[in-house]
Structure 1
Amino acid sequence: MKQRVITAVVALLVFLPLLYLGGLPFDILITALGLVAMSEFLIMKKKLLVSVEAILAFLMMLAVLVPVFFEGFLTQGNLGGSFYFFALAMLVYTVFSKNRFSFDDAGVLVLGALYAGLGFRFMILARAESLWMMLYALLIVWITDSGAYLIGRKLGKHKLAPHVSPNKTWEGSIGGTLSAVVIVGIYLYFVQAQFPTSFPYDFTRMLLLTLVFSVGGQLGDLIESALKRYYGVKDSGKILPGHGGILDRFDSLLFVLPLMHFASLI
């Protein structure tokens, strides 16, 4: 527990100032997190981080996170150009790797780059939209997670998804979402009162979206649990002592942010 607290404090001391600053410093941090997330996919697949497939995977991730970096490469650096080029190169490598690197391996890395890469890309876009928008996403995830844990411990009886996450319960899940709707609703009320243009929708619609995003965040958590169970690992990585890896810490947010994009918030 002491290690978890120390890691959390240090991580917040790094993350929160850069979140407040926004711009290039925050973008660099999120890009670094995306690259670490890709390294976790590679490690779970038992692939070397210094290998042809790893280099192509990191380039795919960069193509998603910072498409402007590939400006002028193929189709003006957009996702469909540079990303697809590296994905095709990875498929070509399956031919020459003497079965050491398969189509299945390539599929995991391509999907991982899309899943984690776009999630972190939307984090950059959310902060570019406004600090209020990024805080909105973070509050949904943090409060849902905390509410589900606390209420689940007190009232949890019915297992939510025992095959992938045996400790989660329906009572905790519902309690976490209700907590998020109430507390984030208070946040929305005051922010919209002080900054009427901070969110594109009225209070009622934002409250309904909060409920949807809270459920989505829990699905992201379960997806990560299913992924780790499939690969037989406790944590996706070890970069955060006591907390696991980047995918472990950002699993819910990587699902919430794309949903916010689909809802035209970012």
Structure 2
Amino acid sequence: MMNRLFVALIGIPILVFILLNGGLPLLIFSNLIILIGLYEFYRMAELGGKKPFKILGYIGGMLIPNLLYFNYPKNIEVSMIFPLVLILLGTMGMRVLKNKVEESSDCVGITILGVMYVSILFSHLILMSKLPNGGKWLLAVQILVWVCDSFAYFTGISMGRKFFKNGFSVISPKKSVEGSIGGIVFTVLTLYLMNKYVGLITGEYSFYIIIILGLAISILAQIGDLGESMFKREFKIKDSGKLLGEHGGILDRFDSILFVVPTVYYILKFFTF
């Protein structure tokens, strides 16, 4: 309990400052999270019997946020695709030169999956920070993920299995349909109130965009959480790591953000910019 409190008291103010201000602190933060996240993902994969090319994965994964940051707004697509091409050529080339056949697709695939899952998704924080009100949106998204997670939990505790007898997912049997619905409702309501008093989006269609964003955030936050749980179940791991003590690993803390930030970024680009 004390460990959780300590991490929250120290980590939350730092996270708020980084998300609101962006710039170099956000780049450093992104590099750190991506590096640790890749380490945790590849470690889980190895414990599950996979053999990723970790060095190539680290190199490719660290290239993406830095290329995006220093090239923006030019060459966004190249900044994300080039490292993947580099990893694909490198991993397949190494297998060919070593005359390895067995499990080649697993080795190549898990290496690229790690970079796409951790680095490409998390690097969208940098892209969102460059949008108008980008810092406000990053902080809003993080708050909404916390809201969704908290109210899904409390709704599930108080009302779970009363209307829908079956669990929400075999991936995480303790989660209930009622909890999931509660997370969605309170996330949409919170975003509506935040927009009303902070003014994240204005205009004739702002109400509809807010509803779309609220639904997307709450649904994708839960999918991101379940997605990481899916990997942990496959690899037979309880937590992605122990870096944050009782909070688990980096991926345990940022699994929802990995899915939510890219989704919100593209919705904002499509509807408002």
Partner of 2:12: 12
Query: 2: distance between equivalents of 1:70 and 1:82?
Result: 15
Partner of 1:3: 3
Task: Go from structure 1 to structure 2 and tell me whether the alpha carbon gap of 1:252 and 1:196 turns closer, same or farther (over 3 Å shift).
Answer: closer
TM-score norm. by structure 1 comes to 0.86
How far off its partner does 1:166 sit?
Answer: 1.3
Task: Go from structure 1 to structure 2 and tell me whether the alpha carbon gap of 1:139 and 1:13 turns closer, same or farther (over 3 Å shift).
Answer: closer
- CA deviations on 1:137-187 (whole Å, 9 max, x unpaired) are 112211100000111111111444442101110000000110111112100
Partner of 1:131: 135
Partner of 1:57: 57
- CA deviations on 1:215-260 (whole Å, 9 max, x unpaired) are 1111111111111000000011111111111111111111111211
Matched residue SS, 2:263: helix
Structure 1 residue 122 corresponds to structure 2 residue 129: no
Task: Go from structure 1 to structure 2 and tell me whether the alpha carbon gap of 1:203 and 1:191 turns closer, same or farther (over 3 Å shift).
Answer: farther
Task: Go from structure 1 to structure 2 and tell me whether the alpha carbon gap of 1:109 and 1:190 turns closer, same or farther (over 3 Å shift).
Answer: same
Matched to 1:177, the amino acid is I
Partner of 2:84: 83
Task: Go from structure 1 to structure 2 and tell me whether the alpha carbon gap of 1:82 and 1:205 turns closer, same or farther (over 3 Å shift).
Answer: closer
How far off its partner does 1:95 sit?
Answer: 2.9
Contact 2:192–2:211 (8 Å) recurs in 1: yes
Contact 1:63–1:82 (8 Å) recurs in 2: yes
Structure 1 residue 21 corresponds to structure 2 residue 21: yes
Query: 1: distance between equivalents of 2:204 and 2:93?
Result: 45
Task: Go from structure 1 to structure 2 and tell me whether the alpha carbon gap of 1:101 and 1:66 turns closer, same or farther (over 3 Å shift).
Answer: farther
Partner of 1:143: 147
Matched residue SS, 2:173: strand
Contact 2:152–2:179 (8 Å) recurs in 1: yes
Query: 2: distance between equivalents of 1:184 and 1:140?
Result: 7
TM-score norm. by structure 2 comes to 0.84
Structure 1: state its 5+ residue gaps: none
Structure 1 residue 209 corresponds to structure 2 residue 213: yes
Task: Go from structure 1 to structure 2 and tell me whether the alpha carbon gap of 1:177 and 1:63 turns closer, same or farther (over 3 Å shift).
Answer: same
Partner of 1:92: 93
Q: How many residues align?
A: 257
Task: Go from structure 1 to structure 2 and tell me whether the alpha carbon gap of 1:29 and 1:185 turns closer, same or farther (over 3 Å shift).
Answer: same
User: RMSD of the TM alignment (CA)?
Assistant: 2.7
Structure 2: state its 5+ residue gaps: none
Query: 1: distance between equivalents of 2:255 and 2:57?
Result: 19
Partner of 1:103: 105
